[in-house]
Structure 1
């Protein structure tokens, strides 16, 4: 089994297919590009600009988890050119020989990519994939509905103890990570004892959790749920209602995610895919995506173009001392079964 990380929209999952095209005419393979990305995880304006500049029609399908994407590909889905796996899934797909060597690191604009984001163990130089975006998973809450500002997971659960509703993600790795981080453990531990500590910590608090769900944004907005574990993309909603909503990285630490842009070995439009990667290396394009997504960018030059409200927001671009407490998931291989067992006990406990 593979790691389960579902990161909808970094706001919400949107399934289906979108086509971005300008002009008429019969589509030819050489004039097409098919993307398979997390739900609503790319600014549509990026795609329309690419089509306007190149004439290449872009099709976009979306998924809600790394596993959904991989399973579809392994089941025989063809026609996709670019996928956006998390770093650990980048390594898994490399081991399965699913990725095309693009030599994107030889493109002049690759110098814009901060080498710190070349995290994939299988691709330390960026010969195959390009770092795309990153963010954190913290606490999204309604300031007008809580008894005091939330800064820690203790504060989070104290709201539930006071009779208010809180929610966590329906995500094995992310939820277990809260138990691990809160007890000073690594989110990639393979120790059964460490996982037992996290499992028991969560079981003790499970009666306080009203729901395990990704669909928490409207509930937090309304105040029906006062606080929820969620992605930094929540800043999009904070921007709409800053008087009531906020997003914080818990003081104990948090997980961070990173997705990479990879070309599939079976891609029918490899040249167009490489062209899109080079297009996305441009600072003005990467920043356009980051501003709309309210997350982080591995493109150092794009970072300079972000508005101060995003660039200087410690929730979106945390200072070094906070970043030092962020942990990113690794591919655990067979040891993932230990997480499966702990998660099953947490989810099925009454």
Structure 2
């Protein structure tokens, strides 16, 4: 409730009990106004610069709330379980395609915005949204290896990574079915979207043979790498934030065999209670200065061509954040697998229970 409405309501209550009905009406109106001035985001943990949200509120008066999730599957499960009130989610491209099939996303026509000219059209990668009629490309990056240089003098490949336990060092992988199985497929030179049973079986056998050498499957490995309890961990390029803060101890590498490339998009839910505010936030985020502000804090890639020009050279020219063509060609993005996902479920269950 805004202060003006609160004062008006209070004045009416004090003036006369007979005006209670009018006061109640004023309270209801002010509550509606408050609802119109909110925006509810559901995003990956720490995947947006808080300063971006502060600036949006300062500019628009719209209060932003933020809940977080640790995986696409967690987000989707919560929505399918009946979670209400969220306006914007940030699915990976393959999850956007799944959500589109489930009719969970609102058509925004965001590509019709004049600011959309700032967006690199090559990132319109969702099969369900090739024209950007629903979602806004948000951020992209890769999933490589973060390591502690006090424990590992140099590391350049997945082969090096899996050799560390034999050298007395601990390693960790993400608690993520597609990411882990993807490594097994890449080690065999296969697509991370393979639905060939023989290829998946080979990846399964490889990962099971390495499982007893993996100290943890977790999203919380960064503190362990920082302390040296874990020598190296599979993690997102956003780890460069910690590398820049402590370059003497930490390093990040895209493995020679290749890595996965992720892309998250900003999507409005069909059941969003604040659709107009959600669209306004998408417009706000396309402002080059705002997109650059987010990228500086996240240390990942931006699809906003004008924002990239505003980045400091240590980000813009960093080969881990913006890899050269020959390395980028080795990055693979997940696709929606349809019924093939059941094969991955079985492989993942077998890996985790063996």
TM-score if structure 2 supplies the norm length?
A: 0.89
Larger Rg: 2
CA distance in structure 2 between the partners assigned to 1:224 and 1:29 by the alignment: 47
SS of 1:34's equivalent in the other structure is strand
Alignment of 1:74-113 (within 5 A): 74-113=80-119
Aligned equivalent of 1:141, options 118, 128, 147: 147
**Structure 1 segment 45-84 matched on structure 2, within 5 A:** 45-84=51-90
Does 1:283 find its partner at 2:288?
A: yes
Confirm or deny that 1:210 pairs with 2:226.
Answer: no
CA distance in 2, matches of 1:71, 1:159: 36
| Conservation of the 8 A alpha-carbon contact between 1:22 and 1:57 | no
For 1:24 and 1:324, the matched residues in 2 are separated by 57
TM-score by length of structure 1 reads 0.90
Q: CA RMSD in A?
A: 1.7
Q: Which residue of 1 aligns with 2:170?
A: 165
How big is the shift at 1:219?
1.1
Identify if the C-alpha distance between structure 1 residues 164 and 271 changes in structure 2 by more than 3 Å, giving closer, same or farther: same
Give the secondary structure class of the aligned counterpart of 1:136: strand
**Structure 1 residues 162-171 or 203-212, which shifts more?**
203-212
Report the counterpart of residue 12 of structure 1 in structure 2: none
1:140 is paired with a residue whose SS is strand
Deviations 1:289-344 (A, max 9, x none): 11101111111111111111111111111111111100111111211111111112
Counterpart-to-counterpart distance in 1, 2:234 and 2:3: 39
Q: Measure, in 1, the Cα distance between the counterparts of 2:324 and 2:214.
A: 30
**TM-aligned CA deviation for residue 75 of structure 1:** 2.0
Equivalence for 2:16: none
3-state SS of the aligned residue for 1:46? helix
- CA gap 1:243/1:57 in 2 versus in 1, 3 angstroms: same
Q: Which stretches of structure 1, 4 residues or more, deviate above 4 A after TM superposition?
A: 21-27
Alpha-carbon separation, structure 2, partners of 1:100 and 1:29: 19
Structure 1: segments with no counterpart, 5+ residues: 1-20
Q: Indicate whether 1:174 and 2:179 are aligned.
A: yes
Any conservation in 2 of the 1:256–1:328 contact (CA below 8 Å)?
yes
| Residues in 1 aligned to 2:98 and 2:74: alpha-carbon distance in whole angstroms | 14
| Cα displacement string for residues 201-247 of structure 1 (whole angstroms, at most 9, x for unaligned residues) | 11222222122122111111111111111111111111111011011
Task: Give, in whole Å, the separation in 1 of the partners of 2:217 and 2:75.
Answer: 22
Q: In the alignment, which of 345, 350, 354 is matched to residue 345 of structure 1?
A: 350
Asked if 2 retains the 8 angstrom alpha-carbon contact of 1:22 and 1:55, the reply is no
Indicate the SS of the match to 1:306.
Answer: coil
- Determine which of 256, 263, 281 is the counterpart of 1:258: 263
1:34 corresponds in structure 2 to 40
Native 8 Å contact 1:22 1:51 kept in 2: no
Alignment of 1:301-312 (within 5 A): 301-312=306-317
